[in-house]
Structure 1
């Protein structure tokens, strides 16, 4: 009898979806034993993280663009103001979805793209996992733990992911201030020696309950709780070698914050006649954040001249509803339509007191409170059409409206309404007479709405006020930025796990928002303003493949991956050169290698990430500079048996210092602020056990 072997090729969303996306699974997320999500994302193609290596708090960017151009979602919904992915343990994440072009189902506030972090769900088999980890280096020490539980009983299944973290740090932060007269002679030289130390700690919990009823109906309850606190202390001593002294020669500050973020998601999926499907969702969120800050300023020869105490209490409540109806009404089409509506309310109180001290300025005491109501409503319809087995097309349209109203005791009521129509078109064509060549094209209209804090005309004061360290204030007249975009890509698949791709894109942004700098009542104030049009272009190249895909002879089980991104942008109302968007990263790249022994007991590898910086012209008078960032990370995973394994990792092996500079120049001269952030390697060890 003849034997026939049938092999099924699994569905690959990156290769087979009409919409361009990349899925990062839990295995890739946990590979290096990272303790925060930003370290995971920095190794992915086309994604950069701002700031110094080895320090938390960097901004996640696609196409090198910051300032909210990249949309960050948690389970498909925007997280509240103040929530940071740095506080989210990678162990509670099931996958990360990266969408290069907008889709109608998600918000189109995604000029650069969308990163959707999906929390873990129930699995089909029982799971009992415990992970304990420690890490540290010259500047920091961390500890973390994770618990994973899941099981199934009939139609009911559950999962629980819980984690804790603690991070202690001590950093040096030297800085210099330089000044030059219009003729070029130096007239200012100040040198600062600063330190910062503190601790952050918190817990994450994400239980999930699921009922799969006969007939295909499904009910899911997903909960997420994020609780933590931060404590910090800073010290800075400034020595003036030439020119004017700062407001305070020595600055000390201690402070901290406590936060709670919770969300409940209820989702019901109902299967209807004819293959139709109805999904309904209800989400309720609550967050509280309280912070204290106590800066002290000393003047040589005078003593203590500033003693300020400030406290901020903020809370945010939100409720949202989503619905999606999909139907294969027409053969070859996947039609769907839906809504996404939410209401949020944010309340904030700020209290500040200053002591009257000899040699100091008159006390500036404030009691501020404000509340903001944010209403959002979106309606969308989309269709994915399989024109032929090799050609598919996605078409969608989304209307999204936002109504923000804010009122406080120190300013008049502010109301901002905006709405955007976003037509979207994407297509995938698998080239004839090939097995793995395909091209994609996308046309999109996206936007970026101003953050609520950017609309509120409240002043946040700096200690040593200057052109390079100004106060900050919102602008109630700020308008959304609108963008037209085009994306095109070529992909070549030639073996299992082997990919070559090239992607090019461009965006035209109207109503571009930049930080303006004003001099008001003898203080420098930074405020956002709309300033005309900007253009951005990106070229990305990526390759990933197992070594056996390119060498015929028997070779070790080595997987290679590499990518490089080149970004350009031009702000029309800012003179060049270097008039880039929001300090856009011009070039970034990744290279990685993974090896697994034949018995599968040892897996090891490493990655090198590069992000250059360089000068950028912000306005005619303002410019900035950031140094390149190079990260070298390695890891090893030993499997002792089927239930126990040890993961070791070393990050930031190159330990390069990070430098940033801010410059202001006008007819009276030039002032330069230069900051240096030293770094050091960090080692981590994680013991992973199953029961």
Structure 2
């Protein structure tokens, strides 16, 4: 109660400042991302035909924000015809995708930190996603819906502090910014010969006293890959224990749309409504053949099927107007993620060529994750500076149920008839009230911004098994998040940015639920910990940026994060349920074989345990990010643009064995490419090459190294007049592979002693893909 009262009192005190006299009214809106949005006096929307036929090469935008922000318009990426935001983000500095399947880009990882450390916003607003780690899968948003992408390297007080690695703000096309219409039709061809269509259309114009923009997109999402796994007794690879061949096909379709309507209200006000909708229907089919060498040869056929039915949608309303000598804004938004997917897998086992057993498991997912937010803010002059203050209220409700099924055959050829094997579900509700205040100003070549944000979180956690309530927990915590940004313009072309900010990462949802999950980590069980504290980090960013000629830009940025209360997997010291069952069975056998003996005489070494998550200590993350995008005008090649970014990433954590980097942090990620325009022929072509370094993770009883091959993409474009363009693009031309190396152990003691249970080498490939796209503006 004290925390809530403090937050309420602070927010009331901040709004009382709105009644003070002000020297002048702000002439600009407050953008959702905290920067300046469209000027209220602007009247010239951008013609959509310029999106279709690009007369010039587009480079990275140089923003005037005091905070360190990189902005990339869709046109920066579009000539390579990205299908999703994930395809776009693989070309920006410091974003890695570790864990994604080959040729897929879903969980964006800024600074190489796990996806849950990166905040993803849509139109400056938080959106729920599929990940237990609170991440949002960026491949859910089609590229055609996007106006631009912002990379926010450090926190500001007027944004949520859940951005330890940084923030990606996906800004969708807005009715006020665009005018005109176009359609996009195309097809993708995959390495196995499958051809899939794609279609999109966008229109914008005057409507009901304002401006409206509407877009639809339908694209088949297909990916076929082959996977090979070889399992050995240890890393010497002298003894092959088993192997597996697998073919996987992901075949589905995404339906998406976005809508924006904006109108001026009176002389100074503006009201807008925006929304987006994405529906994913996909079937994932796997066929595996496994061979295990024991005293006998054990062969298994393992077919699997995973139907995916997911929906993301969100809607928001914004109203801004001049009031009390400043600009006041009201923002209301609601977003929802729904998942009704399933997975099932059969296993038919043969020993020395004779049928031995058939069994199957299945699981269905019923999940609804929804967020509702309201922001009230005011911006006004404060002497020579500018004052912004407000309060964010947000309610989140995540309800998810996993229902399990099983089947076992009595005879070969028996039909698969699943029987219910129980269910487990959880309901997590979070309420946040976050007041903030921020002051900014500029004097000569110096600009500054300083702010405080006070985030309060009230959590209610309930879990159930087989439909019956099993327990609940409550957790309240608060965080004071200061931020400071400085910008020094050395001259018109050169600037230095310096930022200090505190950020947090709330625990993953599955880490909070105190329900026992059987065999969650190999043979080990897991139970969540509702008493976890959020991780926090004091962060520093120091950047240098210089404009090159008229449109080029080069920048370098150093970052450092000092992380406290790091959450990691730990052993509770309690036996797993399997270990307890084995103990009872072995004890009974021991007593039967040894009349007169007692339980005290029985020796038992458990091979599996009960794990949980805990705040284990501190960590450090640091690195350097470099980016360059410029025409080669100085070399006499004004129609050739080059693009280069390179990020060196490192970190330090001390775990139960010793020092290591943050789990799954790639050592580096870089991209280099060019575009050459031929104005006389109305044509252009280009290529881009991307590579990310190795990543390593270590948890109790398992260590994994992940390596990705290089990705080469090319395109060639022909323009017809000012309204039609035709592009042919190709991706993964080097047929890159994803290779994983697993060190597996029975328990922590074996891991420390390097007594291997198994060493596995797994590789997957998906082959090149080709895409042809026709755009027509009208």
Task: Name the TM-score, length of structure 2 as normaliser.
Answer: 0.80
Q: Does 1:372 align with 2:392?
A: no
Measured at CA, do residues 539 and 621 of structure 1 come closer, stay the same or move farther in structure 2, by a change above 3 Å? same
> Shift of the alpha carbon at 1:99?
0.5
For residues 493-549 of structure 1, the C-alpha deviation after alignment (integer angstroms, 9 at most, x for no partner) is: 24212223221111111121234468612367765433211111111222222111x
Q: Deviations over 1:168-198 (max 9, x none)?
A: 33321111222239xx896662111112123
Asked if 1:591 is matched to 2:672, the reply is yes
Cα deviation, residue 92, structure 1: 0.5
The answer as to 2:313 corresponding to 1:289 is no
Quick one: which of 668, 684, 689 aligns to 2:771? 684
1:406 alignment partner, one of 443, 461, 464: 461
Q: Is the 8 A contact 1:655 1:680 kept in 2?
A: yes
Residues 1:119 and 2:167 aligned together: no
Are 2:276 and 1:224 equivalent residues in the alignment? yes
Shift of 1:392: 1.0
Query: What residue number does 2:74 align with?
Result: 26
* TM-superposition CA deviations, 1:329-386 (whole Å, max 9, x none): 322x1210111111122333332232354499x9881033432212122111111111
Residue in structure 2 matched with residue 7 of structure 1 by the alignment: none
Provide the aligned C-alpha RMSD in A: 2.8
Aligned length: 663
Residues 668 and 646 of structure 1, relative CA distance in 2, 3 Å threshold:
closer
Is residue 106–residue 138 contact of structure 2 (8 Å, CA) maintained in 1? Answer: no
Unaligned runs of 5+ in 1: 1-11
Establish whether residue 534 from structure 1 lines up as the match of residue 619 from structure 2.
yes
2:321 maps to what in 1?
270
Q: Distance in 2 between matches of 1:359 and 1:186?
A: 37
Change (3 A) 1:617 1:220: closer
Cross-structure match for 1:8: none
1:565 corresponds in structure 2 to: 647
Aligned partners of 1:394 and 1:645: how far apart in 2? 44
Q: Deviations over 1:626-675 (max 9, x none)?
A: 12431111112211111111121111111121101221341482122221
Distance 2:342 2:237 in 1: 42
Q: 1:75 to 1:414 in 2, by over 3 A?
A: same
Q: Aligned equivalents of 1:679 and 1:185: distance in 2?
A: 26
What is the CA–CA distance in structure 1 between the aligned matches of 2:296 and 2:436, rounded to whole Å? Answer: 59
CA separation of 1:647 and 1:632: change in aligned 2, threshold 3 A: same
1:155–1:406 Cα change, 3 Å: same
Judging changes above 3 Å, is the alpha-carbon distance between structure 1 residues 587 and 288 closer, same or farther for their aligned structure 2 residues? closer
Aligned runs of 1:225-244 on 2, under 5 Å?
225-242=277-294
- The CA distance in 2 between the partners of 1:633 and 1:262, in whole Å, is 31
Counterpart in 2 of 1:210? 262
CA contact (8 A) 2:463 2:515 kept: no
Q: Indicate the residue corresponding to 2:504 in structure 1.
A: 447
Inter-partner Cα distance in structure 2 for 1:202 and 1:460: 33
1:37 and 2:89 correspond: no
Alignment-derived partner of residue 319 in structure 1: 372
Deviations 1:572-618 (A, max 9, x none): 235456x110221111111121111234721321111111105x352
Rounded to whole Å, the distance in 2 between the matches of 1:208 and 1:617 is 43
Tell which deviates more after alignment, 230-239 or 94-103. Answer: 230-239
1:40-119 aligned at under 5 Å gives the runs 40-51=88-99, 54-82=102-130, 84-119=137-172
- State the distance in 2 between where 1:57 and 1:632 align: 15
Using structure 1 for the length normalisation, give the TM-score. Answer: 0.90
Contact 2:190 2:223 survives alignment (8 Å) = no
Change (3 A) 1:39 1:286: closer
Per the alignment, in what secondary structure is the counterpart of residue 454 of structure 1?
A: helix
Distance (whole Å) between structure 2 residues aligned to residue 295 and residue 116 of structure 1: 38
CA contact (8 A) 1:54 1:652 kept: no
SS of 2:279 mapped into structure 1: strand
Question: Are 2:740 and 1:660 aligned?
Answer: yes
Which residue does 2:402 correspond to in 1? 350
**Deviation (angstroms), 1:27:** 0.9
- Report the counterpart of residue 422 of structure 1 in structure 2: 481
Task: Note if contact 2:98-2:664 (Cα within 8 Å) is conserved in structure 1.
Answer: no
Quote the Cα distance in structure 2 between the aligned partners of 1:447 and 1:124: 34
- Going from structure 1 to structure 2, the CA distance change for 1:460 and 1:169 (only over 3 Å counts) comes to farther
Distance 1:169 1:617 in 2: 26
The reply on whether 1:669 has 2:723 as its aligned counterpart is no
CA–CA distance in structure 1, aligned partners of residues 308 and 571 of structure 2? 29
Q: Distance in 2 between matches of 1:349 and 1:59?
A: 23
Q: Supply the distance in 1 between the matched residues of 2:686 and 2:710 (Cα, whole angstroms).
A: 17
Matched, 1:582 2:669: no
Alignment of 1:460-499 (within 5 A): 466=522, 474-499=528-553
- Checking the alignment, whether the CA contact within 8 Å between 2:66 and 2:485 is kept in structure 1 is yes
Find the aligned partners of 2:171 and 2:391 in 1 and give their Cα distance: 20
Comparing both structures, which one devotes a greater share of its residues to helix?
Answer: 2
Q: Is the 2:541–2:560 Cα contact (8 Å) retained in structure 1?
A: yes
Alignment of 1:517-666 (within 5 A): 520-522=576-578, 527-548=612-633, 550-551=634-635, 554-576=636-658, 579-599=660-680, 601-613=682-694, 616=696, 618-619=698-699, 622-665=702-745, 666=750
Q: Can you list the C-alpha shifts for 1:193-238, whole angstroms capped at 9, x where unaligned? A: 1121231212111111111123121111112111221211212222
* Bigger mean CA offset, 100-109 vs 660-669: 660-669
Q: Which region of structure 1 is more displaced relative to structure 2, 88-97 or 565-574?
A: 565-574
Moved more, 585-594 or 367-376: 367-376
